[in-house]
Structure 1
Amino acid sequence: MAASASSRKNFIDSSLSMITKYGFDGLDIDWEYPSRRDTVYGSADIDNFTTLLKEFREAFDKKKLLLTAAVSSVREAASQSYNVTAISQYLDIVNIMTYDMHGSWDAVTGHNSPLFKGEGDEGAVAADLYTIEQALAYWIGAGCPPEKIAVGVPFYGRTFTLSNANVNGVRAAANGAGIAGPYTATNGFLGYNEFCNLLQTESWTQRYDQLAKVPYAFKDYNWVTYDDANSIALKVDYAKSLGIDKIMIWSIETDDFHGLCGYGNNPLLNAINLALDSSFTTNRPSSTSSPDATTSNSDSSSSSATSSSSSLPIPTPAASVTPATICKGGLYVPKPGDCTSFYMCVVKADGSYEPLEVKCSNGLHWDQTILACNYPSEVKCKA
């Protein structure tokens, strides 16, 4: 379609007809991917995609419609598909799909959406890493204005089958897709709502990659990479540090919208909204300056095998605190005099904030530097 002027016009005209009839705000182009996979035109796709967007822009400007596109994230892939500077001038929002960076197609375990390089990435060339940090560095460096970028955040995890149940860290050997969820029903894929329920009802060992700033978990031969409210808030805060103020979600129906896991309804969406709120100043994550940057919680000894290091425990309404005071401290605030608890500020329907008191799992302390419950030896806290 994109290679033919008449086909492009037909597609644009028919899109406009549908958008106008049903009152949509615009159109998101999701071409996966120009010049790759099943292409028959090869590198000509790059210019054809740009031309398609240019012609859409001319038609949409007349009706004040939005034009967005979902694009490949990492340098290795994106550099083959787009003239970044050219497409950026025609798009209102560039939705960068910063997820599916690793999955069951890999021979070893890896994070679905790591913020920074993590465990097992020692010695890797930074520009070649599949991380949000490097993806955004590429897109901004290639000419995409930060104010047009929306960072993709996954509301799902990727699952692997371990080759050896006793070798269960990041970059452990794997034999393809792992467990499927009861609703998404796809091996290698679990909605957050599905997995948070498993964590409540089954005995999983949870770990937190302090370098990549994301959790993972394993049980027998099953290994899962996922995001929770903590890791998502850190992703948003990092995006904000680059001048990015938009988040794209894939996909909203796998949030815990019924609140069955004990964190309230839509905990991931709430985490995004709270982190985007400019009234908060959270601890900005750094790939180099964090005191935890050279430490990883990959110990698989029995003493830590049942500890949860990043998933938020069950929150309860905070007693005898003033929301206006507590919630000025950030998204997550330490509880004074109690190393094992913290406050999570949740937005209410009227726009005000309610501090919920959260207690870490047994044996863990709240770590304000990584915004997660952590092992006491890694936390500086005096009760």
Structure 2
Amino acid sequence: MASTEESRKSFANSVLRFLVYYGFDGLDMDWEYPTARGGIAADAENYVALLKVIKEAISPWGLTLTTAVPIDDALLGTAYDASAMAEIVDYVHLMAYDYVPSTSKVTGLSAPLSAIKNTVSNWINAGLPAKKMILGIPSYGRNYVLENENKHDIGDPVLNAGLPGDYTSEDGFLAYYEVMQIVNDQFLFMESVEIDGTNYAYGSGEWITYETEATVRTKAQYAIDEGLGGIMMWSVDTDDFQGLYGKKFPLLSAINDVIKKT
């Protein structure tokens, strides 16, 4: 679809019709990832060309074009041309989470602030203006089964990804409210630790990396201090949208509170 001018224009025109018909404000392109997962080396250039054609099609209608990008430094060098993309899109959504995936063999933080700062710096140095970068903050957690429940520090071994939540139904992945259900269960004896702008908890052989209202505030303030273009959260349906453990959308609300104060 991205490899020829004809196919790019065909896609762009179909996108425009879809956006206008349903009244959307714009399009977020999330190709994971050009040049990888069966892609070819030319896909880095093809993606820029595709974004350009889409922008030309939707811009006259006042529609916004954004793109999501990963934290992998190797992909920044091979799959994404930061400066070329920055000249086309309105914003770039940095998916600043899953620094340690659910498949990890040791415990680790999903969204440590120190790693995020390094990634932000790398993208800016590659040619992406800070004002065009949107910082992604997770509203989900990653859970693991500890190999030894008495060894629960960062970097300690795990047996496998943790059990899925009732809602998310995915091994090693929990919505924020599912994390809260576990952390607040007095029979699981969970201990919670805030570190490096994020949080983890352990107990009864389980280990969870997740965000809290306090840690998302820290990340939001960092984005503001660095002059980034904004903040996005992945995703609203994994925040506590029903208010089971307090007010509705506690993480999203905490981020919004910080933004309103600037």
TM tier relative to shorter chain: over 0.9
- Partner Cα distance (1:48, 1:17) in 2: 22
How far has the Cα of 1:46 moved from its partner?
Answer: 0.5
Deviations 1:12-69 (A, max 9, x none): 1111111111111111101000111221x2x211100011111111112221210011
- Partner Cα distance (2:216, 2:189) in 1: 21
- Structure number with higher helix proportion: 2
Matched, 1:259 2:240: no
Query: Partner amino acid for 2:88?
Result: Y
Q: Which residue of 1 aligns with 2:73?
A: 75
Q: Which residue of 2 aligns with 1:223?
A: 207
- Partner Cα distance (1:80, 1:204) in 2: 45
**Pairing partner for 2:252 from 269, 274, 280:** 269
Q: Which residue of 2 aligns with 1:30?
A: 30
Matched, 1:8 2:8: yes
- Partner Cα distance (1:206, 1:267) in 2: 21
Identity across matched positions, percent: 38
- Partner Cα distance (1:234, 1:11) in 2: 39
Query: Partner amino acid for 1:158?
Result: R
- Partner Cα distance (2:38, 2:72) in 1: 19
* Rg comparison, structure with higher value: 1
How do 1:138-217 residues align onto structure 2 when only pairs under 5 Å count? 138-202=122-186, 203-210=188-195, 212-217=196-201
Query: Partner amino acid for 2:25?
Result: D
- Partner Cα distance (1:3, 1:252) in 2: 34
Q: Which runs of 5+ in 2 are unaligned?
A: none
- Partner Cα distance (1:77, 1:275) in 2: 31
Q: Which residue of 2 aligns with 1:109?
A: 107
Aligned length: 261
- Partner Cα distance (1:89, 1:242) in 2: 20
Contact map agreement 2:91 2:229 (CA 8 A) in 1: no
How far has the Cα of 1:141 moved from its partner?
Answer: 1.1
Q: Which runs of 5+ in 1 are unaligned?
A: 117-130, 280-383
Deviations 1:255-286 (A, max 9, x none): 11222113x2211011010111244xxxxxxx
- Partner Cα distance (1:28, 1:153) in 2: 16
SS state at 1:90 partner: coil
How far has the Cα of 1:209 moved from its partner?
Answer: 4.4
Contact map agreement 1:74 1:138 (CA 8 A) in 2: no
How far has the Cα of 1:152 moved from its partner?
Answer: 0.5
How do 1:1-383 residues align onto structure 2 when only pairs under 5 Å count? 1-39=1-39, 41=40, 43-116=41-114, 131-202=115-186, 203-210=188-195, 212-262=196-246, 264-279=247-262
TM-aligned CA distance change 1:66 to 1:204, over 3 Å: farther
- Partner Cα distance (2:197, 2:220) in 1: 12
Query: Partner amino acid for 2:14?
Result: S
- Partner Cα distance (1:201, 1:180) in 2: 16
How far has the Cα of 1:198 moved from its partner?
Answer: 1.9
State TM-score, norm by structure 2. Answer: 0.95
- Partner Cα distance (1:276, 1:32) in 2: 29
Query: Partner amino acid for 1:113?
Result: A
